[in-house]
């Protein structure tokens, strides 16, 4: 790979690798909580629907079992959103602009960490992270759409709005910090 190509994706690759480390942390935390709770690795005991209900209700479990199940649920919530995050991160970075996409990706990882840690406490502690994460995913999705739209403008009409789109996304991305 030549230097120019690497320069166009290096920030996206860094954010992706940080997210892999974060997923490893989440998995380790779940395994640790599970071993603490019952002395062995966590194993599912029922279907996904059963697991969802069992985790949400938590009425018949001991406090340690409830804590372990909440740990598993919050990890699963993060894992469920992970493919979507990766797709919009790379689409936005490749089709629109790498720097704002990487910044939004780092913000998403921070928010996901806040959600994961907040899940241990009250439900209200994890909700802001969840809502903020949805807003970041929407921003990355809109960046991807803008990049696709610009491609077709060039293809059909010869008009290139890439500089305008990059200026707007670079200007708007710090606004993601506003809760």
Q: What is the mean pLDDT of the chain?
A: 78
Query: Which is nearest to 20 in space by CA: 79, 104, 70?
Result: 79
Task: Name which residue leads in pLDDT, 145 or 175.
Answer: 145
Query: Which is nearest to 79 in space by CA: 23, 10, 133, 161?
Result: 23
Compute CA distances 121 → 32, 80, 89, 114, whole Å.
18, 21, 29, 11
3-state SS, residue 40: coil
pLDDT confidence tier of residue 166, bands split at 50, 70 and 90: confident
Question: Do 111 and 22 form a contact (C-beta atoms < 8 A)?
Answer: no
* pLDDT at residue 6, as a whole number: 87
């Amino acid at each position: 790979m030549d230097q120019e190509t690497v320069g166009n994706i290096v920030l996206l690759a860094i954010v992706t690798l940080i997210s892999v480390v974060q997923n490893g942390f989440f998995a380790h935390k779940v395994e640790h909580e599970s071993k603490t709770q019952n002395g062995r690795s966590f194993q599912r005991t029922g279907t996904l629907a059963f697991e969802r209900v069992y985790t949400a209700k938590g009425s018949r479990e001991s406090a340690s079992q409830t804590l372990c199940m909440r740990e598993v649920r919050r990890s699963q919530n993060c894992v469920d959103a992970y493919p979507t995050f990766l797709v919009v991160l790379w689409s936005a970075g490749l089709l629109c602009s790498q720097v704002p996409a990487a910044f939004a990706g780092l913000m998403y990882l921070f928010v996901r960490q806040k959600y994961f840690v907040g899940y241990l406490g009250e439900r209200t502690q994890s909700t802001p992270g969840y809502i903020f994460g949805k807003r970041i995913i929407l921003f990355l999705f809109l960046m991807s759409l803008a990049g696709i739209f610009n491609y077709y403008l060039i293809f059909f009409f010869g008009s290139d709005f890439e500089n305008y789109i990059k200026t707007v996304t670079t200007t708007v991305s710090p606004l993601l910090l506003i809760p």
